[in-house]
Amino acid sequence: MASTQVGGTTAQRPRTHGGGGAHSRARDWAEIQERMLVPLYQAVYDRLEVGPATSLLGLGCRSGLALLLAAERGAQVSGAEPETELRELAQGRGLPVSADGYEAHGERTATALPRTAHSLVTVFDQLPGTEDPAPLMAEAARRTLRGGQVVLAGWGPPERCESASVLDVAHRRAHRGAGRAPSAPFALSRPGALEALLAGAALRPAGSGLVSCPFAYADLESAVRGMLSTGLYRTAVEDSGQAVVAKELEEALQPYVRPDASVRMANVFRYVVGDKLR
């Protein structure tokens, strides 16, 4: 199993803001941004006592750190990640991650079928910015064993997230034409929104939690690259250009730059647990 070391190594790189390519954004996510959500992953795993008896599927698992942490607890893990570059990074960590979440190791045989349902399905990173979460919820419910659980996560209340003002750059720089809309990361932060998604997928709400997930970066460049890697700025970059969005991000991040040049923003994430009863 690959190491779960999450320390960043980006401060010495040239000031490129990730270059704008999909491979660069995926690498920046894995090296800079992904570790910011470790408190969320660990809080969920602690609450649900994830361990050797757990079969876990991560939907939208990105480069797979959450899966690695579950595997360290003894869980059997697999993942689904639609973005090729992120999926390849997860596979490079030795994780069974595919585009659809079915494990595929060579030919499928009657005695070696891929697992189709799991005791725990997590949706940690895919909901923020998703225009229509209904198909994702239907898939999460379908892939959960009866008696199993689904976990959804997203941003907490915007007034408790210092990154809210930085995420607003995505709205300001995204054009609203041709049926396209900028991402809305706080759309599911209102009370009851995540619970309503569970209910719509015939899952019974079974608890929730708030987790502090501060975003901390070595310097301003790392902060810009980390935020861009979230995917929430994709439309803004397409419409206004990488340089313009990066410049506005630098300006929005200025209030959070510390005397030692590091950047830190206090944030809260929320998760809900749903039981599959039938």
* Under 8 Å between Cβ of 162 and 267: yes
Q: Angle 141-4-225 (CA atoms, 0-180°, nearest 5)?
A: 85
Q: How far is it, in rounded angstroms, from Cα 126 to Cα 203?
A: 18
Q: What is the pLDDT at residue 4?
A: 46
Q: How far is it, in rounded angstroms, from Cα 150 to Cα 105?
A: 25
Q: List the domain boundaries for the chain.
A: 22-102+113-275
Q: What is the pLDDT at residue 171?
A: 86
Coil, helix or strand for 64?
coil
- Supply the DSSP string of 155-209, one letter for each residue: E--GGG-TTHHHHHHHHHTS---TT-----TTTT-STTHHHHHHHHTT-EEEEEE
- With a CB cutoff of 8 Å and minimum separation 6, the contacts of 209 are 43, 44, 47, 270, 271
Q: What is the pLDDT at residue 111?
A: 32
Q: What is the pLDDT at residue 104?
A: 46
Which CATH fold topology does 22-102+113-275 show? Rossmann fold (3.40.50)
Burial 59-85 (b: 16+ CB within 10 A, else e): bbbbbbbbbbbbbebebbbbbbbebeb
Q: How far is it, in rounded angstroms, from Cα 111 to Cα 228?
A: 44
Least Cα distance to 127 among 74, 193, 44, 181 occurs for: 193
119-140: per-residue pLDDT in tens?
Answer: 999 999 989 878 889 999 999 9
**Average pLDDT per consecutive 10 residues, the chain (278 residues; last block may be shorter):** 39 44 94 98 98 98 98 97 96 95 46 67 90 92 97 97 96 68 81 96 97 98 97 91 95 98 98 96
Q: What is the pLDDT at residue 251?
A: 97
Q: What is the pLDDT at residue 186?
A: 93
Say what the pTM is: 0.87
